[in-house]
Copies of this chain bind each other. A is one copy, B any other.
Amino acid sequence: MIVILKQNPNRAQLENLIDWLQSKGIQIHTSVGLTHTILGLVGDTSQLDIDLISALDIVEGVRRIQEPYKNANRKFHPNDTVIEVGNTRIGGGELTVMAGPCSVETEEQVVTVAKAVKASGATLLRGGAFKPRTSPYSFQGLGADGLKLLSLAKKETGLPIVSEVMDVSQLPLFDDVDVIQVGARNMQNFNLLKELGSQKKPVMIKRGLSSTYEELLMSAEYVMSEGNENVILCERGIRTFETYTRNILDLASVPILHQLSHLPVIVDPSHATGKSGLVPPMALAAIAAGADGLLIEVHNDPACALCDGPQSLKPEAFDKLAKKMFALHDFLKDAED
């Protein structure tokens, strides 16, 4: 960590700072420049509170050299984390496809879709029971009943389930869920993250709409620092000035997160773009960028006029895409050798 001092800092305050840092086991290298003096802090700075130091009257700025996350950091854990869920492995060169409806609505719907996506090669069933909606007047999901329908589909198909939790109080309902998803709007719901850290199920954290890579990794760190190492990162688009699509899918996040961390990285092209026509090219691009898997919405209810989510593929389109995805993954693996 580098601390840049203001010009002519108060001596007493500077000594206070240096004493305090040394009491934390930090060594200090001082470098006197023409206009500024710089302190180079050497030691385990990941546990220093950068805001506290920035706050000092004598400090102009503080810059981290070392990353503030440890458990999630590739430097301290060079090998890929591989998470086993049912018969499937997430991370470490596998391609995991999680697919299913955005919202769980009926038994027929979820079982039909589950069977279809399994037949196409998906290894996890995704489905929303608790739905975070901007408007209190929009459908909020079936809740506990939705989770029961997912369980039925799991029993029918053997597919493990991934579903979103919105609040600590809902956790007891997630017994039969295999991967617990934290939504983008809850990425910095720190109480929820801590709670998920003190149980053992894998946790998939979606990147917040305006969250940096470091903030995403710090949210993973919240879970991991409580003892749960099974964290999956999920890129689902960020908010920018462009309004043509719902969000901008940031595929560079895939190689970057792989470089910074050992955790698997899943890409959700359905929510990022909000348009089903963009899901296939973005899914393939995600694989080419090195993603460990995809989270894709698939929906099918021909009897209902108002069901096709604008971002959902129908099973036939998903099947076509899945074939391409697995073939592309194999092609790229071979090209690597």
Chain A interface (Cβ < 8 Å from any Cβ of B): 2, 4, 13, 16-17, 20, 29, 31-36, 38, 40-44, 46-47, 49, 51-57, 63, 65-66, 68-69, 75, 132-140, 166-169, 185-186, 188-192, 194, 209-210, 212-215, 218, 221-222, 225-226, 238-245, 248-252, 254-256, 259, 272-273, 277-278, 281-282, 284-290, 305-312, 324, 327-328, 331-332, 335
Partner of A335, one of B54, B188, B324: B324
Q: Identify the closest chain B residue to A41 (Cβ).
A: B33
Q: Identify the closest chain B residue to A273 (Cβ).
A: B252
Partner of A43, one of B16, B34, B57, B250: B34
B256 and A252 form a contact (CB under 8 A): no
A250 and B248 form a contact (CB under 8 A): yes
Partner of A278, one of B40, B209, B252: B252
Contacts of A189 in B (CB 8 A): 166-167, 185-186, 189
The verdict on A241 contacting B244 (CB below 8 Å), with A191-B167, A284-B289 known, is no
B331 and A65 form a contact (CB under 8 A): no
Docked CA distance A151–B20 (Å):
31
Interface of A is mostly: mixed
A282 and B169 form a contact (CB under 8 A): no
| Identical chains bound together, number | 4
The verdict on A17 contacting B305 (CB below 8 Å), with A42-B34, A256-B278 known, is yes
Q: Identify the closest chain B residue to A197 (Cβ).
A: B136
Partner of A191, one of B166, B190, B225: B166
A306 and B52 form a contact (CB under 8 A): yes
Partner of A285, one of B49, B251, B305: B251
Docked CA distance A31–B133 (Å):
30
* Min CB–CB distance A215 → chain B (angstroms): 6
Contacts of A52 in B (CB 8 A): 139, 306
* Min CB–CB distance A1 → chain B (angstroms): 9
B169 and A191 form a contact (CB under 8 A): yes
Docked CA distance A43–B33 (Å):
7
Partner of A310, one of B33, B55, B69: B55
Docked CA distance A185–B183 (Å):
13
Contacts of A49 in B (CB 8 A): 135, 137-139
A281 and B287 form a contact (CB under 8 A): no
Contacts of A272 in B (CB 8 A): 252
* Min CB–CB distance A283 → chain B (angstroms): 9
**Can you show 12 pairs from A to B with CB atoms below 8 A apart?**
A13-B305, A34-B44, A51-B138, A56-B305, A69-B135, A166-B191, A213-B242, A238-B242, A239-B241, A240-B248, A281-B290, A328-B331
Docked CA distance A140–B197 (Å):
16
A63 and B63 form a contact (CB under 8 A): yes
